[in-house]
Amino acid sequence: MAGDARKRIDWEQTAFQFSDEGLRGAWILRGLMNFRNRYLVIAIRILLGLIMLASGISGLLMGNSTKGVPAKMVAFTQVFWASGIFQMVKVTEIVAGFMLLVGIFPALAT
């Protein structure tokens, strides 16, 4: 781990040394690297937002269904549904999924 951090620091120093425009060139180089990763982050954020949104909506629309739930978990699931905790979790999933899709406070949504 320490070796990786050392390599990163050395790379940053060489980026500053070999840039033609001094500090401005290094910031441009660093900006281009962030530009490539930006699309990957956006794609992952949108996919996670869609999954959370679909899970929240299907959980609310499904209702208090115990199909596929093991027999020992049926009572536990019904208590969560009756107390409103299940609905609160699903509404939170919907809101967080929407926040990720739109890009509103993505760090808070995750």
Say if residues 101 and 50 touch (Cβ distance below 8 Å).
yes
Q: For 70-90, write each residue's pLDDT tens digit.
A: 988 998 888 989 999 999 999
In the chain, the amino acid numbered 53 is L
Query: How far apart (Å, rounded) are the C-alpha atoms in residues 77 and 1?
Result: 44
Domain ranges of the chain: 2-109
Q: Which of 89, 10, 79, 25 is nearest to 56 (CA)?
A: 89
Model-level pTM?
0.62
Q: For 44-75, write each residue's pLDDT tens digit.
A: 999 999 999 999 999 999 888 888 889 889 98
